[in-house]
Structure 1
Amino acid sequence: MTETRKLKIAAVADLHVKEDDDSSYKEMFAEISGLADVLVIAGDLTDLGKPKEAERLAADLQSCTIPVIAVLGNHDHESGMVDEVSSVLIDAGVKLLNGQPAEVDGVAFVGVKGFAGGFGRHMLGSFGEAAIKAMVAESVDESMRLENAMRRVRSQRAMVVLHYAPVIDTVEGEPREIYPFLGSSRLAETIDRFPVKAVVHGHAHRGTYQGKTPGGAPVYNVAAHVVKPTGKPYALLEL
């Protein structure tokens, strides 16, 4: 039987590209292109969700010669111009996921932004004011979007791409007071209903690189600020 070729994946999050910042990711994207088969960006591609920021990132991505898969983050929603930002990124060749799978060489990438809500027994419940119920509903909706996407996966290898964390392990290092705003266990509950090889997320800049869901799926916080085995802003994974 022929052995399945492993796919090399570079994953990073929280690039926060600014409109008035002269720094560039061109060299990093060129470097990644020589090391990996796919680049995954787990949200907060832009700093304020402005189309001009997305255009700067799109220009830098011209140095990337491998497929790029991404989800948006909370910063990408800041200016209420999600459609415009998305259009710029899609025109630049980015496969932008929001509740659907994309397959590359036998590996399915399934992405949603995710949302806040807290972890374990401290997870926020739908009780009280309408604002609290709306927040919980958003968290549930994101988890359901992920579940519906996972049901469409036919590959035996799948990576889940999120912005918000699905487990508490990878937010450790952040102030405990903000844990509920960094992710939700509802995402992990969904992930553990399916055979998932790896999960990547960002958002928790001061979090921890590696953890796992209660069901044992490996979870990686690939925020650019988090220390990784590569010593680089990006992680390198094989599926």
Structure 2
Amino acid sequence: MPEARPDTVRFAAVGDIHCTKDSAGTLRGFFAQASEAADALLLCGDLTDYGTSAEAKVLADELSVVSVPMVAVLGNHDFESGTPDEVRRILNGVGVQVLDGEAVEVLGVGIAGAKGFCGGFGRGSLGPWGEQAIKLFVQEAINEALKLESALAKLRTPRRIALLHYSPIAATVEGEPMEIFPFLGSSRLEDPLVRYPVDWVVHGHAHRGTPEGRTVGGVPVYNVARPLLTRTGDGKGFRVLEVAWQEAAPEPVAVAAAG
């Protein structure tokens, strides 16, 4: 007999926790509330403030109250001290699945995760031209987009979501100063979402951005940065999103190569 599946799966999504050593004892209530509100917890990067093992250990302890599956990606702050693998190891130790170009299945829903990177949107995207430093910067954005595409391509579940730190579209960073738009995300992250459709995308990073937008293909994108949700949401600081079950998966979209 096939395993029974719920009609909907609820995900509590939040990014930009920015846990510090002084956060001990301050986040358990928040995580407990998120755990009670959903069937799984999605963490969209900047989980620590400086990416230290001490901060990661505090966060791991605060997450001990969560009783549902946890899936995360790291953010730029989690790389600040140069030890993202240690942050990942500590969080793995308390049951957090930290994705970096991988895919997992949670309660019948496929999740593709990558940190992403910056570089700008649309015509404002930085191109790989000129100095070697510029080319390396752009290559990092391309590499992160390829990680996302690889993860999406692995999913075979009928329902799928994408988990990022940086935004794939400009709409959800609107509200931030225009001068920093290029550092908040990259349109290169949107391309895999056109080829491999998902139900929705969540990201963080843009604390003063906009809660919702859509890709060029109409896929909903949600900015779940905790500072934004605390200011504009219902005060909980996380967002609950649902995936309704269906038997047929959306088909990958054929995209003509640019000439």
In structure 2, the partner of 1:82 is 84
1:106 Cα offset (Å)? 1.2
Amino acid aligned to 2:240: L
Distance 1:21 1:61, change over 3 A: closer
Distance 1:238 1:133, change over 3 A: same
1:20 Cα offset (Å)? 3.1
Contact 1:156 1:195 in 2 (8 A): no
Cα separation, 2, equivalents of 1:189 and 1:57:
33
In structure 1, the partner of 2:185 is 183
Cα separation, 2, equivalents of 1:57 and 1:20:
10
In structure 2, the partner of 1:17 is 19
In structure 1, the partner of 2:238 is 234
Cα separation, 2, equivalents of 1:24 and 1:57:
10
Contact 2:163 2:203 in 1 (8 A): yes
1:1-239 matched pairs, under 5 angstroms: 5-22=7-24, 24-227=26-229, 228-239=232-243
Render the CA deviation track for 1:11-33: whole Å, top value 9, x for unaligned: 00000001234562101111122
Amino acid aligned to 1:128: G
**Runs of 4 or more consecutive aligned structure 1 residues displaced over 4 Å after TM superposition:** none
Contact 2:5 2:108 in 1 (8 A): no
Render the CA deviation track for 1:120-158: whole Å, top value 9, x for unaligned: 111110000111100100000000111111111001211
Helix, strand or coil for the counterpart of 2:208? coil
1:35 Cα offset (Å)? 1.2
Cα separation, 2, equivalents of 1:4 and 1:79:
41
Distance 1:84 1:144, change over 3 A: same
Amino acid aligned to 2:109: V
In structure 1, the partner of 2:247 is none
Structure 2: where are the runs of 5+ without partners?
Answer: 244-259
Helix, strand or coil for the counterpart of 1:7? strand
Moved more, 88-97 or 229-238: 229-238
Cα separation, 1, equivalents of 2:59 and 2:226:
15
- Structure 2 length normalisation: TM-score? 0.89
- Count of matched residue pairs: 238
Helix, strand or coil for the counterpart of 2:110? strand
Amino acid aligned to 1:107: V
Helix, strand or coil for the counterpart of 1:101? strand
Helix, strand or coil for the counterpart of 2:195? coil
Helix, strand or coil for the counterpart of 1:226? helix
Moved more, 20-29 or 141-150: 20-29
* Identity of matched residues, %: 49
1:3 Cα offset (Å)? 8.3
Cα separation, 1, equivalents of 2:215 and 2:55:
34
Structure 1: where are the runs of 5+ without partners?
Answer: none
Render the CA deviation track for 1:68-103: whole Å, top value 9, x for unaligned: 100000000000011111110000110110111110
Cα separation, 2, equivalents of 1:188 and 1:113:
13
Cα separation, 2, equivalents of 1:20 and 1:230:
25
Distance 1:4 1:63, change over 3 A: closer
Helix, strand or coil for the counterpart of 2:43? strand
Distance 1:24 1:3, change over 3 A: closer
